[in-house]
Structure 1
Protein backbone atom coordinates (compact mmCIF):
# COMPACT_ATOMS: atom_id res chain seq x y z
CA UNK A 1 0.00 0.00 0.00
CA UNK A 2 1.43 3.39 -1.00
CA UNK A 3 2.17 5.95 1.69
CA UNK A 4 3.45 9.50 2.08
CA UNK A 5 5.54 10.54 5.09
CA UNK A 6 4.98 14.14 6.21
CA UNK A 7 7.72 15.83 8.26
CA UNK A 8 7.62 19.44 9.53
CA UNK A 9 10.97 21.05 10.31
CA UNK A 10 12.56 24.21 11.67
CA UNK A 11 16.33 24.48 12.14
CA UNK A 12 16.76 20.72 12.40
CA UNK A 13 20.15 20.33 10.68
CA UNK A 14 21.41 18.31 13.67
CA UNK A 15 18.78 15.58 13.25
CA UNK A 16 17.01 15.72 9.89
CA UNK A 17 19.72 13.92 7.94
CA UNK A 18 19.50 10.87 10.21
CA UNK A 19 15.70 11.05 10.09
CA UNK A 20 15.52 11.07 6.30
CA UNK A 21 18.24 8.46 5.84
CA UNK A 22 16.30 6.12 8.14
CA UNK A 23 13.18 6.69 6.02
CA UNK A 24 15.07 6.03 2.79
CA UNK A 25 16.32 2.73 4.27
CA UNK A 26 12.79 1.37 4.78
CA UNK A 27 11.87 -2.10 3.54
CA UNK A 28 8.77 -0.45 2.04
CA UNK A 29 9.41 2.77 0.07
CA UNK A 30 7.33 5.91 0.64
CA UNK A 31 7.01 9.41 -0.81
CA UNK A 32 8.60 11.92 1.60
CA UNK A 33 7.41 15.52 2.02
CA UNK A 34 9.37 17.93 4.24
CA UNK A 35 7.67 21.19 5.19
CA UNK A 36 10.22 23.73 6.39
CA UNK A 37 9.11 26.65 8.54
CA UNK A 38 11.83 29.04 7.34
CA UNK A 39 14.99 27.46 8.73
CA UNK A 40 18.12 29.61 8.91
CA UNK A 41 20.50 26.65 9.08
CA UNK A 42 21.15 23.83 6.57
CA UNK A 43 17.84 22.03 7.15
CA UNK A 44 16.45 22.71 3.66
CA UNK A 45 19.75 21.85 1.96
CA UNK A 46 19.92 18.49 3.76
CA UNK A 47 16.22 17.77 3.20
CA UNK A 48 16.57 18.26 -0.56
CA UNK A 49 19.19 15.49 -0.65
CA UNK A 50 16.71 12.88 0.54
CA UNK A 51 13.09 14.07 0.37
CA UNK A 52 10.89 13.82 -2.71
CA UNK A 53 9.39 17.23 -2.04
CA UNK A 54 10.52 20.14 0.16
CA UNK A 55 8.18 23.06 0.80
CA UNK A 56 9.53 26.20 2.49
CA UNK A 57 6.69 27.85 4.38
CA UNK A 58 7.84 30.57 6.82
CA UNK A 59 5.32 31.67 9.42
CA UNK A 60 3.00 28.65 9.42
CA UNK A 61 2.17 26.91 12.69
CA UNK A 62 3.17 23.30 13.21
CA UNK A 63 -0.48 22.32 12.91
CA UNK A 64 -0.90 24.16 9.60
CA UNK A 65 2.27 22.65 8.13
CA UNK A 66 1.12 19.12 8.87
CA UNK A 67 -2.37 19.81 7.57
CA UNK A 68 -0.90 21.14 4.32
CA UNK A 69 1.34 18.08 4.07
CA UNK A 70 -1.67 15.79 4.28
CA UNK A 71 -3.50 17.83 1.65
CA UNK A 72 -0.45 17.69 -0.67
CA UNK A 73 -0.14 13.90 -0.35
CA UNK A 74 -1.45 11.79 -3.23
CA UNK A 75 -1.34 8.38 -1.53
CA UNK A 76 -4.17 6.70 0.40
CA UNK A 77 -2.08 6.49 3.58
CA UNK A 78 -0.28 9.40 5.26
CA UNK A 79 2.34 8.84 7.95
CA UNK A 80 3.60 11.62 10.23
CA UNK A 81 6.84 11.83 12.16
CA UNK A 82 9.23 14.52 13.39
CA UNK A 83 12.52 15.78 11.97
CA UNK A 84 14.34 14.82 15.19
CA UNK A 85 13.11 11.22 14.99
CA UNK A 86 14.72 8.10 13.51
CA UNK A 87 12.90 4.89 12.63
CA UNK A 88 13.92 1.21 12.27
CA UNK A 89 14.11 -0.20 8.69
CA UNK A 90 10.83 -2.12 9.02
CA UNK A 91 8.85 0.67 10.69
CA UNK A 92 6.67 1.49 7.68
CA UNK A 93 6.19 -2.17 6.84
CA UNK A 94 4.86 -2.86 10.33
CA UNK A 95 2.54 0.14 10.22
CA UNK A 96 1.18 -0.36 6.72
CA UNK A 97 0.33 -4.03 7.15
CA UNK A 98 -2.54 -3.05 9.47
CA UNK A 99 -4.29 -1.12 6.69
CA UNK A 100 -5.00 -4.36 4.85
CA UNK A 101 -7.96 -4.45 7.24
CA UNK A 102 -10.49 -1.95 5.81
CA UNK A 103 -11.81 -1.29 9.32
CA UNK A 104 -8.48 0.22 10.41
CA UNK A 105 -8.32 4.01 10.01
CA UNK A 106 -5.18 4.86 12.01
CA UNK A 107 -2.07 3.16 13.39
CA UNK A 108 0.58 4.24 15.89
CA UNK A 109 3.25 2.79 18.10
CA UNK A 110 5.66 3.49 20.97
CA UNK A 111 8.03 6.42 21.26
CA UNK A 112 11.50 5.90 22.74
CA UNK A 113 14.01 8.59 23.80
CA UNK A 114 17.14 9.19 21.74
CA UNK A 115 19.12 10.02 24.88
CA UNK A 116 17.47 8.15 27.77
CA UNK A 117 17.43 9.59 31.26
CA UNK A 118 14.88 9.37 34.05
CA UNK A 119 12.69 12.25 32.84
CA UNK A 120 12.91 11.59 29.08
CA UNK A 121 12.19 7.89 29.62
CA UNK A 122 9.16 8.65 31.79
CA UNK A 123 7.99 11.24 29.25
CA UNK A 124 8.13 8.86 26.28
CA UNK A 125 6.67 6.02 28.34
CA UNK A 126 3.70 8.21 29.23
CA UNK A 127 3.16 9.04 25.53
CA UNK A 128 3.30 5.35 24.64
CA UNK A 129 0.83 4.49 27.40
CA UNK A 130 -1.57 7.14 26.13
CA UNK A 131 -1.14 5.80 22.57
CA UNK A 132 -2.13 2.33 23.77
CA UNK A 133 -5.43 3.89 24.82
CA UNK A 134 -5.99 5.09 21.25
CA UNK A 135 -4.62 8.64 21.42
CA UNK A 136 -1.68 8.47 19.04
CA UNK A 137 1.39 10.71 19.07
CA UNK A 138 2.11 12.47 15.79
CA UNK A 139 5.80 11.49 15.77
CA UNK A 140 4.54 7.94 15.17
CA UNK A 141 1.15 8.07 13.50
CA UNK A 142 -0.44 6.89 10.23
CA UNK A 143 -3.97 7.28 8.92
CA UNK A 144 -6.17 7.00 5.86
CA UNK A 145 -5.92 10.35 4.09
CA UNK A 146 -9.55 10.49 2.96
CA UNK A 147 -10.85 9.70 6.43
CA UNK A 148 -8.56 12.28 8.03
CA UNK A 149 -9.65 15.04 5.67
CA UNK A 150 -13.28 13.97 5.98
CA UNK A 151 -13.05 14.23 9.77
CA UNK A 152 -12.11 17.90 9.54
CA UNK A 153 -8.37 17.38 9.94
CA UNK A 154 -6.24 18.80 12.70
CA UNK A 155 -7.99 21.05 15.20
CA UNK A 156 -6.73 24.61 15.66
CA UNK A 157 -4.96 23.88 18.94
CA UNK A 158 -1.38 24.72 19.81
CA UNK A 159 -1.00 21.37 21.53
CA UNK A 160 -2.86 18.08 21.53
CA UNK A 161 -4.23 18.18 18.00
CA UNK A 162 -2.82 14.71 17.33
CA UNK A 163 -4.84 13.32 20.24
CA UNK A 164 -7.90 15.23 19.05
CA UNK A 165 -7.43 13.74 15.57
CA UNK A 166 -7.09 10.23 17.02
CA UNK A 167 -10.37 10.69 18.82
CA UNK A 168 -12.12 11.91 15.66
CA UNK A 169 -10.71 9.08 13.54
CA UNK A 170 -11.94 6.49 16.04
CA UNK A 171 -15.50 7.42 15.04
CA UNK A 172 -14.81 6.11 11.53
CA UNK A 173 -13.09 2.83 12.37
CA UNK A 174 -10.38 1.14 14.41
CA UNK A 175 -7.33 2.93 15.80
CA UNK A 176 -4.53 0.38 16.22
CA UNK A 177 -1.50 0.49 18.53
CA UNK A 178 1.39 -1.72 17.38
CA UNK A 179 3.98 -2.16 20.16
CA UNK A 180 6.59 -3.29 17.61
CA UNK A 181 6.30 -0.20 15.37
CA UNK A 182 8.44 2.10 17.52
CA UNK A 183 10.33 5.30 16.74
CA UNK A 184 13.27 6.94 18.52
CA UNK A 185 12.97 10.67 19.12
CA UNK A 186 14.86 13.52 20.71
CA UNK A 187 13.18 14.93 23.83
CA UNK A 188 14.32 18.57 24.19
CA UNK A 189 15.28 19.77 27.66
CA UNK A 190 12.44 22.29 27.78
CA UNK A 191 9.94 19.51 27.06
CA UNK A 192 11.49 17.43 29.85
CA UNK A 193 11.21 20.44 32.15
CA UNK A 194 7.55 20.90 31.30
CA UNK A 195 6.83 17.22 31.91
CA UNK A 196 8.67 17.26 35.25
CA UNK A 197 6.73 20.37 36.29
CA UNK A 198 3.39 18.79 35.34
CA UNK A 199 4.28 15.66 37.31
CA UNK A 200 5.35 17.74 40.31
CA UNK A 201 2.11 19.69 40.24
CA UNK A 202 0.10 16.49 40.03
CA UNK A 203 1.84 15.47 43.24
CA UNK A 204 1.16 18.88 44.73
CA UNK A 205 -2.55 18.50 43.99
CA UNK A 206 -2.52 15.16 45.79
CA UNK A 207 -0.70 16.60 48.78
CA UNK A 208 -3.06 19.57 48.84
CA UNK A 209 -6.09 17.28 48.81
CA UNK A 210 -4.66 15.02 51.51
CA UNK A 211 -3.67 17.88 53.82
CA UNK A 212 -6.57 20.14 52.86
CA UNK A 213 -4.05 22.85 52.01
CA UNK A 214 -5.72 25.64 49.98
CA UNK A 215 -2.36 26.98 48.81
CA UNK A 216 -1.14 23.64 47.45
CA UNK A 217 -4.47 22.98 45.77
CA UNK A 218 -4.45 26.45 44.27
CA UNK A 219 -0.92 26.23 42.90
CA UNK A 220 -1.45 22.77 41.40
CA UNK A 221 -4.77 23.82 39.86
CA UNK A 222 -3.28 27.05 38.54
CA UNK A 223 -0.44 25.29 36.77
CA UNK A 224 -2.89 23.01 34.97
CA UNK A 225 -5.18 25.95 34.23
CA UNK A 226 -2.23 27.67 32.57
CA UNK A 227 -1.48 24.54 30.55
CA UNK A 228 -5.09 24.22 29.42
CA UNK A 229 -5.39 27.84 28.40
CA UNK A 230 -2.09 27.92 26.52
CA UNK A 231 -2.96 24.78 24.54
CA UNK A 232 -5.95 26.37 22.81
CA UNK A 233 -5.12 28.56 19.84
CA UNK A 234 -7.97 31.01 20.36
CA UNK A 235 -6.85 31.81 23.89
CA UNK A 236 -4.16 34.53 24.22
CA UNK A 237 -0.60 33.31 24.64
CA UNK A 238 1.38 32.57 27.80
CA UNK A 239 2.74 36.08 28.14
CA UNK A 240 -0.80 37.42 28.31
CA UNK A 241 -1.66 34.78 30.92
CA UNK A 242 1.32 35.81 33.01
CA UNK A 243 0.30 39.47 32.84
CA UNK A 244 -3.21 38.60 33.99
CA UNK A 245 -1.75 36.52 36.83
CA UNK A 246 0.50 39.39 37.99
CA UNK A 247 -2.44 41.82 37.86
CA UNK A 248 -4.57 39.33 39.79
CA UNK A 249 -1.92 38.91 42.49
CA UNK A 250 -1.69 42.69 42.83
CA UNK A 251 -5.46 43.04 43.24
CA UNK A 252 -5.50 40.10 45.63
CA UNK A 253 -2.99 41.83 47.89
CA UNK A 254 -5.13 44.97 47.88
CA UNK A 255 -8.30 43.09 48.88
CA UNK A 256 -6.63 40.56 51.18
CA UNK A 257 -8.45 41.87 54.22
CA UNK A 258 -11.85 41.40 52.56
CA UNK A 259 -11.61 37.63 52.00
CA UNK A 260 -11.08 34.62 54.23
CA UNK A 261 -7.50 33.34 54.77
CA UNK A 262 -8.26 30.02 53.03
CA UNK A 263 -9.75 31.77 50.01
CA UNK A 264 -6.75 34.09 49.86
CA UNK A 265 -4.28 31.18 49.99
CA UNK A 266 -6.18 29.28 47.30
CA UNK A 267 -6.41 32.27 44.93
CA UNK A 268 -2.79 33.24 45.57
CA UNK A 269 -1.73 29.68 44.80
CA UNK A 270 -3.93 29.56 41.69
CA UNK A 271 -2.51 32.76 40.21
CA UNK A 272 1.06 31.82 41.15
CA UNK A 273 0.52 28.46 39.45
CA UNK A 274 -0.54 30.18 36.21
CA UNK A 275 2.52 32.42 36.47
CA UNK A 276 4.74 29.41 37.16
CA UNK A 277 3.38 27.64 34.09
CA UNK A 278 4.37 30.64 31.97
CA UNK A 279 7.96 30.62 33.21
CA UNK A 280 8.34 26.88 32.65
CA UNK A 281 6.80 26.72 29.17
CA UNK A 282 7.11 30.17 27.58
CA UNK A 283 9.39 28.96 24.76
CA UNK A 284 7.54 25.75 23.90
CA UNK A 285 4.23 26.76 22.35
CA UNK A 286 3.84 27.60 18.68
CA UNK A 287 3.02 31.19 17.71
Structure 2
Protein backbone atom coordinates (compact mmCIF):
# COMPACT_ATOMS: atom_id res chain seq x y z
CA UNK A 1 0.00 0.00 0.00
CA UNK A 2 1.24 3.48 -0.84
CA UNK A 3 -0.19 5.12 2.27
CA UNK A 4 0.66 4.03 5.78
CA UNK A 5 -2.24 2.36 7.59
CA UNK A 6 -3.87 4.46 10.29
CA UNK A 7 -3.24 1.87 13.04
CA UNK A 8 0.48 2.67 13.05
CA UNK A 9 -0.26 5.98 14.78
CA UNK A 10 -1.50 4.06 17.85
CA UNK A 11 2.12 3.15 18.56
CA UNK A 12 3.76 6.43 17.57
CA UNK A 13 5.20 7.08 21.03
CA UNK A 14 7.31 10.21 21.24
CA UNK A 15 9.39 9.18 24.27
CA UNK A 16 13.12 9.61 23.86
CA UNK A 17 14.20 7.31 26.68
CA UNK A 18 12.96 5.00 29.42
CA UNK A 19 12.62 7.80 32.00
CA UNK A 20 10.05 9.62 29.85
CA UNK A 21 7.66 6.66 29.66
CA UNK A 22 4.69 7.21 32.05
CA UNK A 23 3.66 4.36 34.35
CA UNK A 24 0.13 4.39 32.96
CA UNK A 25 1.51 3.41 29.54
CA UNK A 26 3.12 0.32 31.06
CA UNK A 27 -0.07 -0.42 32.98
CA UNK A 28 -2.22 -0.19 29.85
CA UNK A 29 0.02 -2.57 27.90
CA UNK A 30 0.30 -4.98 30.82
CA UNK A 31 -3.47 -5.20 31.16
CA UNK A 32 -3.63 -6.47 27.60
CA UNK A 33 -0.71 -8.85 28.16
CA UNK A 34 -2.40 -10.27 31.24
CA UNK A 35 -5.53 -10.94 29.22
CA UNK A 36 -3.45 -12.77 26.60
CA UNK A 37 -1.55 -14.90 29.12
CA UNK A 38 -1.78 -18.66 28.59
CA UNK A 39 0.11 -21.33 30.53
CA UNK A 40 0.31 -23.57 27.46
CA UNK A 41 0.90 -21.28 24.44
CA UNK A 42 0.87 -22.77 20.97
CA UNK A 43 3.08 -19.98 19.67
CA UNK A 44 6.18 -18.29 21.10
CA UNK A 45 7.08 -14.87 19.71
CA UNK A 46 10.85 -14.45 20.13
CA UNK A 47 12.39 -10.99 19.95
CA UNK A 48 16.08 -10.09 20.10
CA UNK A 49 16.61 -6.59 21.50
CA UNK A 50 19.82 -4.58 21.47
CA UNK A 51 19.57 -0.99 22.77
CA UNK A 52 15.82 -0.66 22.14
CA UNK A 53 14.59 0.85 25.42
CA UNK A 54 11.82 2.85 23.66
CA UNK A 55 11.30 0.85 20.46
CA UNK A 56 10.62 -2.36 22.39
CA UNK A 57 7.69 -0.57 24.08
CA UNK A 58 6.09 0.15 20.68
CA UNK A 59 6.80 -3.38 19.60
CA UNK A 60 5.22 -5.06 22.65
CA UNK A 61 2.27 -2.65 22.56
CA UNK A 62 1.46 -3.75 19.02
CA UNK A 63 1.87 -7.45 19.84
CA UNK A 64 -0.40 -7.05 22.87
CA UNK A 65 -3.17 -6.02 20.47
CA UNK A 66 -3.05 -9.22 18.42
CA UNK A 67 -6.41 -10.75 17.52
CA UNK A 68 -5.95 -14.48 17.05
CA UNK A 69 -7.33 -17.86 18.01
CA UNK A 70 -3.78 -19.12 18.61
CA UNK A 71 -2.59 -18.69 22.22
CA UNK A 72 0.87 -17.15 22.35
CA UNK A 73 3.61 -15.91 24.64
CA UNK A 74 6.18 -13.16 24.15
CA UNK A 75 9.87 -13.76 24.88
CA UNK A 76 12.36 -10.89 24.65
CA UNK A 77 16.10 -11.50 24.82
CA UNK A 78 18.19 -8.52 25.87
CA UNK A 79 21.23 -8.97 23.67
CA UNK A 80 23.87 -7.29 25.84
CA UNK A 81 22.24 -3.85 25.66
CA UNK A 82 24.13 -0.86 27.02
CA UNK A 83 21.04 1.37 27.38
CA UNK A 84 17.97 0.85 29.62
CA UNK A 85 16.31 -1.88 27.56
CA UNK A 86 16.39 -4.15 30.63
CA UNK A 87 14.46 -1.60 32.71
CA UNK A 88 11.74 -1.35 30.05
CA UNK A 89 11.47 -5.14 29.93
CA UNK A 90 11.29 -5.39 33.71
CA UNK A 91 8.17 -3.22 33.67
CA UNK A 92 6.43 -5.29 31.00
CA UNK A 93 4.69 -8.62 31.61
CA UNK A 94 6.74 -10.59 29.12
CA UNK A 95 9.30 -13.31 29.66
CA UNK A 96 12.78 -11.84 29.26
CA UNK A 97 16.31 -13.23 29.26
CA UNK A 98 19.82 -11.83 28.91
CA UNK A 99 22.23 -13.08 26.27
CA UNK A 100 25.77 -11.80 26.70
CA UNK A 101 26.98 -13.24 23.40
CA UNK A 102 26.50 -10.46 20.87
CA UNK A 103 24.42 -11.23 17.80
CA UNK A 104 20.85 -11.95 16.75
CA UNK A 105 21.69 -15.65 16.31
CA UNK A 106 22.75 -16.23 19.93
CA UNK A 107 19.85 -14.11 21.20
CA UNK A 108 17.25 -15.98 19.16
CA UNK A 109 18.79 -19.31 20.10
CA UNK A 110 18.35 -18.53 23.79
CA UNK A 111 14.78 -17.42 23.22
CA UNK A 112 14.01 -20.58 21.25
CA UNK A 113 15.49 -22.82 23.93
CA UNK A 114 13.15 -21.27 26.49
CA UNK A 115 10.06 -21.23 24.28
CA UNK A 116 6.98 -23.17 25.31
CA UNK A 117 5.21 -22.98 21.96
CA UNK A 118 5.08 -25.62 19.25
CA UNK A 119 5.68 -22.82 16.77
CA UNK A 120 8.02 -19.85 16.91
CA UNK A 121 7.52 -16.46 15.31
CA UNK A 122 10.49 -14.12 15.08
CA UNK A 123 9.85 -10.39 15.42
CA UNK A 124 12.18 -7.39 15.41
CA UNK A 125 12.31 -5.07 18.41
CA UNK A 126 12.05 -1.89 16.34
CA UNK A 127 8.92 -2.89 14.41
CA UNK A 128 5.18 -2.62 14.98
CA UNK A 129 2.84 -5.44 13.97
CA UNK A 130 -0.74 -5.42 12.66
CA UNK A 131 -3.40 -7.12 14.76
CA UNK A 132 -3.70 -10.01 12.28
CA UNK A 133 0.02 -10.84 12.12
CA UNK A 134 0.06 -13.90 14.40
CA UNK A 135 -3.13 -15.26 12.87
CA UNK A 136 -1.95 -14.91 9.25
CA UNK A 137 1.53 -16.30 9.91
CA UNK A 138 0.39 -19.35 11.89
CA UNK A 139 -2.41 -20.21 9.46
CA UNK A 140 0.25 -20.80 6.80
CA UNK A 141 2.82 -22.36 9.13
CA UNK A 142 0.33 -25.03 10.23
CA UNK A 143 -0.32 -26.19 6.66
CA UNK A 144 0.81 -29.79 5.91
CA UNK A 145 4.52 -30.10 5.07
CA UNK A 146 5.40 -26.49 5.97
CA UNK A 147 8.25 -26.01 8.46
CA UNK A 148 9.06 -22.35 7.89
CA UNK A 149 7.24 -19.21 6.71
CA UNK A 150 8.16 -15.62 6.04
CA UNK A 151 6.17 -12.46 5.47
CA UNK A 152 6.63 -9.17 3.69
CA UNK A 153 7.31 -5.87 5.47
CA UNK A 154 7.01 -2.13 4.86
CA UNK A 155 8.81 1.08 5.83
CA UNK A 156 7.40 4.01 7.78
CA UNK A 157 8.09 7.34 6.08
CA UNK A 158 10.51 9.86 7.56
CA UNK A 159 12.07 13.13 6.41
CA UNK A 160 14.02 12.38 3.25
CA UNK A 161 12.19 9.08 2.80
CA UNK A 162 8.64 9.85 1.60
CA UNK A 163 6.17 7.01 1.55
CA UNK A 164 5.78 6.91 -2.25
CA UNK A 165 9.52 6.31 -2.69
CA UNK A 166 9.54 3.62 -0.04
CA UNK A 167 6.56 1.98 -1.76
CA UNK A 168 8.52 1.75 -5.03
CA UNK A 169 11.40 0.09 -3.20
CA UNK A 170 9.01 -2.36 -1.57
CA UNK A 171 7.47 -3.33 -4.91
CA UNK A 172 10.94 -4.02 -6.29
CA UNK A 173 11.78 -5.99 -3.16
CA UNK A 174 8.62 -8.09 -3.54
CA UNK A 175 9.50 -8.93 -7.15
CA UNK A 176 12.98 -10.07 -6.14
CA UNK A 177 11.42 -12.16 -3.37
CA UNK A 178 9.30 -14.00 -5.93
CA UNK A 179 12.42 -14.84 -7.95
CA UNK A 180 14.33 -15.93 -4.86
CA UNK A 181 11.50 -18.18 -3.77
CA UNK A 182 11.82 -20.40 -6.85
CA UNK A 183 15.11 -22.02 -5.83
CA UNK A 184 16.39 -20.11 -2.78
CA UNK A 185 13.42 -19.23 -0.54
CA UNK A 186 15.63 -19.02 2.57
CA UNK A 187 17.06 -15.77 1.21
CA UNK A 188 13.67 -14.18 1.95
CA UNK A 189 13.43 -15.29 5.57
CA UNK A 190 14.19 -12.26 7.70
CA UNK A 191 13.71 -12.10 11.46
CA UNK A 192 11.37 -9.14 11.06
CA UNK A 193 8.57 -11.56 10.06
CA UNK A 194 9.40 -15.25 10.11
CA UNK A 195 8.10 -18.42 11.70
CA UNK A 196 9.07 -22.06 12.02
CA UNK A 197 8.33 -25.30 13.85
CA UNK A 198 10.14 -25.25 17.21
CA UNK A 199 11.10 -28.93 17.11
CA UNK A 200 13.00 -28.54 13.86
CA UNK A 201 14.41 -25.16 14.82
CA UNK A 202 16.04 -26.73 17.86
CA UNK A 203 17.56 -29.43 15.68
CA UNK A 204 18.93 -26.94 13.17
CA UNK A 205 19.98 -24.23 15.63
CA UNK A 206 21.16 -20.67 15.06
CA UNK A 207 24.74 -19.71 14.37
CA UNK A 208 26.30 -18.74 17.71
CA UNK A 209 28.35 -15.69 16.81
CA UNK A 210 27.57 -12.22 15.51
CA UNK A 211 27.04 -12.36 11.77
CA UNK A 212 24.33 -11.24 9.39
CA UNK A 213 21.99 -13.72 7.75
CA UNK A 214 21.52 -15.94 10.81
CA UNK A 215 17.81 -16.18 9.96
CA UNK A 216 18.46 -17.38 6.41
CA UNK A 217 21.06 -19.87 7.61
CA UNK A 218 18.53 -21.43 9.97
CA UNK A 219 15.93 -21.58 7.18
CA UNK A 220 18.37 -23.28 4.83
CA UNK A 221 18.88 -26.02 7.41
CA UNK A 222 15.14 -26.29 8.01
CA UNK A 223 14.54 -27.23 4.38
CA UNK A 224 15.64 -30.82 5.11
CA UNK A 225 12.50 -31.18 7.25
CA UNK A 226 9.91 -29.59 4.96
CA UNK A 227 9.11 -26.60 2.78
CA UNK A 228 9.35 -22.84 3.22
CA UNK A 229 6.24 -20.88 2.31
CA UNK A 230 5.59 -17.18 1.84
CA UNK A 231 2.80 -15.34 3.66
CA UNK A 232 1.63 -12.93 0.99
CA UNK A 233 -1.08 -11.09 2.92
CA UNK A 234 -0.45 -7.34 2.73
CA UNK A 235 -2.56 -6.90 5.87
CA UNK A 236 0.03 -8.91 7.81
CA UNK A 237 2.99 -6.68 6.96
CA UNK A 238 4.95 -5.37 9.95
CA UNK A 239 6.15 -1.78 9.67
CA UNK A 240 9.57 -0.44 10.55
CA UNK A 241 11.58 2.78 10.35
CA UNK A 242 13.96 3.03 7.36
CA UNK A 243 17.07 2.72 9.55
CA UNK A 244 18.72 0.16 7.26
CA UNK A 245 18.22 2.48 4.29
CA UNK A 246 19.54 5.52 6.13
CA UNK A 247 22.92 3.84 6.54
CA UNK A 248 23.44 4.40 2.80
CA UNK A 249 22.63 8.10 3.06
CA UNK A 250 19.95 9.34 0.66
CA UNK A 251 17.07 7.25 -0.65
CA UNK A 252 18.61 7.34 -4.13
CA UNK A 253 21.88 5.87 -2.83
CA UNK A 254 20.01 3.18 -0.91
CA UNK A 255 17.96 2.26 -3.97
CA UNK A 256 20.95 2.26 -6.32
CA UNK A 257 23.11 0.09 -4.05
CA UNK A 258 20.33 -2.50 -3.74
CA UNK A 259 19.75 -2.61 -7.49
CA UNK A 260 23.48 -3.22 -8.07
CA UNK A 261 23.66 -5.95 -5.42
CA UNK A 262 20.56 -7.79 -6.67
CA UNK A 263 21.64 -7.50 -10.33
CA UNK A 264 24.91 -9.27 -9.57
CA UNK A 265 23.04 -12.12 -7.86
CA UNK A 266 20.22 -12.44 -10.39
CA UNK A 267 21.45 -15.45 -12.35
CA UNK A 268 22.30 -17.40 -9.21
CA UNK A 269 18.66 -17.27 -8.11
CA UNK A 270 17.70 -19.84 -10.75
CA UNK A 271 19.88 -22.61 -9.32
CA UNK A 272 19.73 -24.36 -5.98
CA UNK A 273 22.40 -23.67 -3.40
CA UNK A 274 24.66 -26.67 -2.84
CA UNK A 275 24.51 -28.31 0.61
CA UNK A 276 26.99 -26.71 2.99
CA UNK A 277 27.70 -26.09 6.66
CA UNK A 278 25.79 -22.91 7.50
CA UNK A 279 27.59 -22.54 10.83
CA UNK A 280 30.99 -21.99 9.20
CA UNK A 281 30.17 -20.63 5.73
CA UNK A 282 30.88 -17.00 4.86
CA UNK A 283 28.50 -14.37 3.48
CA UNK A 284 29.78 -14.18 -0.08
Structure-2 residue corresponding to 1:6: 46
Give deviations 1:190-212, integer Å, cap 9, x for gaps.
Answer: 4444844633755998xxxxxxx
Gap change, CA 1:192 and 1:142, over 3 Å in 2: farther
Under a length normalisation based on structure 1, what TM-score does the superposition of the two structures give?
0.63
In 2, the alpha carbon distance for the partners of 1:191 and 1:7 equals: 23
Deviation at 1:183, TM superposition (A): 0.9
Structure 1 residues 92 and 120: CA distance shift in structure 2, 3 A: same
CA distance in 1 between counterparts of 2:263 and 2:96 reads 46
Please report how far the alpha carbon of residue 49 of structure 1 lies from its aligned counterpart in structure 2 after TM superposition.
3.2
Q: Which has a greater percent of helix? A: 1
For structure 1, list consecutive stretches of 5 or more residues without a partner in the other structure.
Answer: 206-231, 236-287
Contact in 2 for aligned 1:110/1:131 (Cα 8 Å): no
Match of 2:133 in 1: 91
SS at match of 1:89: coil
Pair 1:198 & 2:257 matched: yes
Aligned-partner Cα distance in 2 for 1:78–1:203: 29
- Asked if 2 retains the 8 angstrom alpha-carbon contact of 1:123 and 1:195, the reply is no
2:145 match: 103
Asked if the contact 2:104–2:214 (Cα under 8 Å) also holds between the matched residues in 1, the reply is: no
Partner in structure 2 of residue 22 of structure 1: 62
Tell me which of 159, 170, 174 is aligned to 2:212.
159
Provide Cα deviations, 1:221-279, integer angstroms capped at 9, x if missing partner: xxxxxxxxxxx9887xxxxxxxxxxxxxxxxxxxxxxxxxxxxxxxxxxxxxxxxxxxx
Residue aligning to 2:28: none
Gaps of 5+ in 2: 1-40, 265-278
Question: 1:137 matched to which residue of 2?
Answer: 190
- What corresponds to 2:226 in structure 1? 173
Distance 1:110 1:156 in 2: 26
- 1:21/1:50 contact within 8 Å kept: no
1:150 corresponds to which of 175, 195, 203: 203
The equivalent position to 1:66 in structure 2, one of 108, 113, 124, is 108
**Cα distance in 1 between the residues matched to 2:47 and 2:154:** 18
- Would you say the 8 A contact 1:10–1:37 is kept in 2? yes
Tell which structure's C-alpha radius of gyration is larger: 1
Match of 2:237 in 1: 182
Distance in 2 separating the partners of 1:102 and 1:203: 32
User: C-alpha separation between the residues in 1 aligned to 2:131 and 2:226?
Assistant: 28
- 1:38 is matched with which residue? 80
Q: Deviations over 1:129-167 (max 9, x none)?
A: 455412311110000011122234447571122222222
TM normalised by structure 2 equals 0.63
Contact 1:16–1:84 at 8 Å: present in 2 too? yes
- Greater shift, 31-40 or 72-81, is seen at 31-40
Taking a change above 3 Å as real, the CA distance of residues 202 and 177 of structure 1, as seen in their structure-2 partners, is: closer
* RCO higher in structure (CA 8 A, sep ≥6): 2
